[in-house]
Amino acid sequence: MTTKSRHLPLAGVRVLDFGHTVMGPTAGLVLADLGAEVIRVEPASGDPTRRLRGFGTGYFPFYNRNKKSIAVDLKSEAGREIVTRLLTKADVLLENFGPGTIDRLGFGYEAVRAAHPHVIYVSMKGFLPGPYEDRLALDEVVQMMSGLAYMTGPPGQPLRAGASVVDVLGGLFGAMGVLVALRERDATGQGTLVRSSLFESVMFLMGQHLAYAALSKEPVPPMPARVSAWAIYDQFPTADGETVFVGITSDKQWQAFCNEFNRPELLADESLATNNQRISAKSQLRPLVGGIVSALPLREIEKRCVRAKLPFAHVARPEQLFDDPHLNAGGRLLETRLGGGVVTRLPALPLEIGDFKAGLYSDPPQPGADTRALLEELGYGKEEMEALIGAGVVVGTDSEARTSTAAE
């Protein structure tokens, strides 16, 4: 575990993270990994994301490392007073509640700006202002309405991406907005409103396809049905039951493939010498190349493709990446202690700034792990704290209950 130091890029910035599920917590994760003090403001019962099963099992453990937790009943006057006090010492507020929810709790943008004009307020929703802004949205919903699902699946079978790509992208844009707003506040002394959204984020991803549609004047084909610019750019089974993707995107790569895979007769065939010739022969060439590749085990294919400098990839399953040599050699999987005593390695922030590489400063917190310490900082006495805990306004676990504590 990395020791948190004052030399981290965002050291000294305090963030109140009201996020839930993926988009909001992603913004908080990025800021926390960069060194901000991020405080998860959870319901007294704990973030519901903690209890998700199925595809949601990994949400809380991954998106909430390097954060503190205070568990508080925001529907109570005493609970709202705690958050009001926190805001006096906060730099940023993050939220991605449904439309109108945080306003009803008393912490909408206008209310926060009036009382705490220094706070940068980040509102992450399904849509930016416009006709759709009051709609509820989810990652999968906007993948469908943006055309991303259409582009991902084969014709007639729209398919969502295999990760919460839009939620994550919306959170990244939210975090980027914080960095810009902090720079602006340095000049003006005032906070501002930052907005990001799911729908507009995914439309940013779709920009290349819209440009293609404008230029081609024809319907854009889904990716599985696209006309490839290369004859060999596909997946092939291996002799040991895995799958590998191999691309041959230039005449030089074709020559390297033939030499490395010991097929001089293909290299000598002048009808396959150029990329356009190989595209014309694709129906015969693809099964031929597939047979060459499929006769070998994965590791042998990888060795030959590396030597030939060909673009290739093992089509991996998530659990296989724990043993990826590149990720492990670069320290890009961070050993993290999860609930129930599970210890695993999860991806680091994929960003390096000079000598700075983000690390793990604290494991995902237990609900309310920092409640007592934060209340004490806000001026609550021991008897007041115990009364608030006894009344269910807050949940406070002992500091020792944290899965880990980083030195600061």
Q: Can you give the pLDDT at residue 406? A: 39
Question: What's the helix, strand, coil split of the chain in %, to 5?
Answer: 45, 15, 40
Let me know: does 39 contact 67? Beta carbons within 8 Å.
yes
CATH 3.30.1540.10 location in the chain: 228-316
pLDDT digits (tens, 9 = 90+) for 297-329: 999 999 999 999 999 999 999 999 999 999 999
CATH 3.40.50.10540 boundaries in the chain: 14-206+330-401
Place of tokens 């604290």: 362
Nearest to 249 by CA among 220, 222, 278, 271: 278
Residue whose C-alpha is closest to residue 94's, from 191, 11, 190, 8: 191
Position 403 scores a pLDDT of: 44
Rounded Cα distance, 125 and 135, in Å: 9
How many CB atoms are located within 10 Å of the residue 14 CB?
Answer: 17
CA distance 113 to 124: 17
The predicted-structure confidence for 259-305, as pLDDT tens digits, reads as follows 999 999 999 999 999 999 999 999 999 999 999 999 999 999 999 99
Please report, rounded to a whole number, the percentage of residues in the chain having pLDDT higher than 90: 91
Strands 37-42 and 356-357, how do they pair?
unpaired
Rounded to the nearest integer, the mean pLDDT of the chain is: 93
Query: How far is Cα 23 from Cα 202, in angstroms, rounded to an integer?
Result: 13
pLDDT for 340: 83
| Residue 397: pLDDT over 60 | yes
Average the pLDDT over 18-23 and give the result: 96
Residue 395, pLDDT score? 92
When the candidates are 3.50.50.60, 3.40.50.10540, 3.20.10.10, 3.30.460.20, the CATH number that belongs to 14-206+330-401 is 3.40.50.10540
Determine the 3-state secondary structure of 262 from DSSP.
coil
Alpha helices of 116-246 — where are they, by DSSP H? 139-146, 148-152, 165-188, 198-205, 207-216
Indicate if the pLDDT at residue 217 is higher than 90.
no
Average pLDDT (182-202) is 98
Residues 10, 80 contacting (CB under 8 angstroms): no
Q: 228-316 has which fold?
A: formyl-coa transferase, domain 3 (3.30.1540)
- Cα angle: 317, vertex 321, 327; to 5 degrees: 150
- Residue 137's pLDDT is 95
Token pair of 78 as six digits = 């005493």
> What pLDDT is recorded for position 3?
61
pLDDT at 401 > cutoff 90: no
What's the CA angle centered on 272, arms 271 and 278, to 5 degrees? 115
Query: Which of the four pLDDT bands, split at 50, 70 and 90, describes residue 99?
Result: very high
Q: What confidence category does residue 5 fall into, taking pLDDT thresholds of 50, 70 and 90?
A: low
In the prediction, which pLDDT does 64 show? 97
**Confidence at residue 341, expressed as pLDDT on a 0 to 100 scale:** 86
Can you give the three-state secondary structure of 92-148, one letter per residue? EEEECCCCCHHHHCCCCHHHHHHHCCCCEEEEEECCCCCCCCCCCCCHHHHHHHHCH
Lowest-confidence pick of 101-105, 361-365, 397-401: 397-401
Q: What is the pLDDT of residue 147?
A: 96
pLDDT at site 408: 37
Cα Dmax for the chain: 88
How confident is the model over 120-143, as a mean pLDDT? Answer: 97
pLDDT class for 228, splitting at 50, 70, 90? confident
| pTM for the whole structure | 0.92
Q: Alpha helices of 309-402 — where are they, by DSSP H?
A: 325-329, 371-377, 382-390
Query: Which one is predicted more confidently, 398 or 190?
Result: 190
Say how far apart CA 388 and CA 87 lie, in whole Å: 19
